[in-house]
Structure 1
Amino acid sequence: MRVLFIDDEARILRALKALFRDLEVYITTEPAQAPALAVQHNVDVVVCDQRMPDKLGVDVLREIREKHPRAMRVLLTGYSDLKAVLGSVNEGEVYRFVNKPWVNSDLRALVLEAGEISREAPAVATDQLSPNEQNVARAQVGVLVIEDDTTVQQRLREILQPHYQVRFANTAERAMQVLEQHETGVVISETATNHGADLTLMLKALKQYHPHIATVVITERANAQTVIELINEGQVYRMLIKPVRMGSCRLSIDSALGRYWKLKQSPKAVRRYGVTPSAQTLQAQSRLPNSLLNRIRSLPARLFGVGGVRI
C-alpha cells in the first residue's frame, strides 16, 4: 500500500512515516510537488495538512483529485475553520477529515481502510454527463428537497423545477414517502427544520444504508463541527450556504445527479462513499423512531438489488 503525506512541518512527517513504517510511504513538505508525486508513485491514499504557508490543503487535494482520482484523500488539520471545511467538501471531496492531534490507532485504521478501498473500488473520474446521459438521467431520476421554509422552497422550485423531477417534503415522514415511491438520486436538505428537528441524523442514516444517493446540504446554520460530522459520517456531496444562488445550485445538482448516474453504471465504486457511524451518532440514532430507521434500511434499492447497498 502506497501513502503520500504532505505537511510543511518535517517533524510531523517523521512521526507519520514512523507510524506507517510497514507501508510504502512518500513524504513532502512542498505542496506544489504533491500532485506529481501522487501520479508518479500511483499512491493509494493522500493525507494532507490544511494550513501550510504556500498552499492550503484543500487546494492540494483538489489538484490531486483532478490528476489522480483513484487516491483516497484525507485532510489533516489542527483547527476547525468553516471556510476550509466547506472547501474540503466542495473542492477536495475528501474521504475523511481528521483533527490534530490524531489518535495513532484511529489514523492507522482509517488509512488502511482508505487504501483497501482505493485498490478495490474503481474511481469515478468525473461526474460530468454527456448531454444525452444528462437527458436520460433527468427523465428517470428524481431530486428530493427536504425544507420547511416556504420562501426557500419557492426559490428552489424556480431554480430546479424547469430542469429536474423535483419533489418537496417539509417533514421526515413526507421525505420517506417520496423515497419509497420514486427513484431518487439527489437529496437536498437543511440540517434542521425551523421547529428545531435535527435532520442530520436522517441524512447520516440514509448515507449509511444507501451511499449511492448524493446529498447536498443547503443551510444558513453551518458550523465547522457539523460539517466535519457530515463529511465523516454523511459523505455529504456539496454544502451550500443560504441564500441560494442559481448558478452554484444548478452546478451542484447537475454534478450530484452525475455522481449518482455514474455509480448506477459502476456499482462497485459505491464503496468509496460508504460511512461508518460513530458511537455518538449510533446513540443519537437510537432516539429516532424505530419505524423511521427500518424504513430507511428497507428503501427499495433500484440500483443494486433489494435491501440496499452493503459495503
Structure 2
Amino acid sequence: MQAKEYRLGFFVRWCEGEDNGNEPRVTDLNDISGRDIHRYRNWRKDGINKVTLRSNLSDLRQFMQFCVTIDAVPDTIPEKITVPTLEQGENERDTYLSQDRAEAILDHLERFDYASLDHVLFLLMWEMGARLGGLHSLDVGDIDWEQNQIHVRHRPDSGTRLKNGQDGERIVALPPETMRVVRDYVDHQRTDATDDYGREPLFSSVHGRMHRRYLPKRVYRVTCPCEHGQECPSGKDPSECEYTASYDASVGCPHNTRPHDVRRGSITHWLKQDVPERVVSDRMNVSQDTLDRHYDKRTEEERADLRRQYLDDV
C-alpha cells in the first residue's frame, strides 16, 4: 500500500500542478484525456530509468482501471496508458552501497551517535546483510550474548514474519565488537517497551515495536552524504536543505541509499572477501541462483582474481 501510494503520488502532484506554480492541470478525473496521460508520461520519465517508469505507469493504469468501475474516468483511459516493456536483464538493479561508504557511515555513527538505534540498525544491516523485515522481527531475547549470535525467527502468530517464512530462519554469528555495540544499545539506549504480544522488540519505541515503515526512513537518513560528514553532491548547505528537516524529509534526498542497496552492498562485500557463495547464501538467506543474478556485483576481473587464488594452489 505504501509503495502504491508513493508511486501514485507523482500523478497526484502533477495533476495539482506542484511543479507548475501550483496551477492545477486536472481538477476532476472525469475530464482527464489521453492527451493528459501522454503529458504526464513525458513529465514523469524525465530523470528516471525505464524500470521506475514502468512501475509508475503500471500502478497508474491499475488505478485507472479501478476508476472506470466507479465511473470516475472515461472507460478508454486505461488503454491509453502505455507501459514500457523491459528487455531481459533490465529489471536488475546495479546500484549498491560500496564498502568505503559503508565504513564511512559506521565510523561517523560510532563517533557521534554510538550505540543509538540508527547505529545498531545500520551496523546489523551491514554485518548480517539482513532484510529490514528480518531486523524488524528481532527481540532482545533472540540475542545469545555468550555465543555472539542472533537468532532470526519467523513468528507470524505474534506479529512478525520473514520474507521466506520458516525457510528464512537462521542463526547469525557476529564479531564480539559488533555484539558489544548491540549490548550497549540494549543496556543504555533502547526504549524499554513490549509489543502487543508481550515480546521485547530489539528496535522499540514508546508504542512498542517500532513500526516497520519507520526503519527504512532511518536508513535513508544515515546514508545521506551530509549525515556522515561528506559534502553534498548537489552543493547544498545542510542547514538550509529541504531534505535535512526530518527522517521523512530525508527520504527524498537524491543522494541517499535504498535499504535494499545496503543489503546488496553487504553481500558483495562478503563475496569480495573470498567468503564461499554457499556461506553467504546461508547467512543472508538468499538462494545461490538469486545471489548470482541480483546481488553479486563483483566485476569479472575481481571474480577472475579470486578464482586464480584457488586454482594456483591446485
Name the TM tier (shorter chain).
under 0.3
Structure showing greater radius of gyration is 2
Decide which structure has greater helix share.
2
Decide which structure has greater strand share.
1
TM-score normalised per structure 1: 0.23
TM-score normalised per structure 2: 0.23
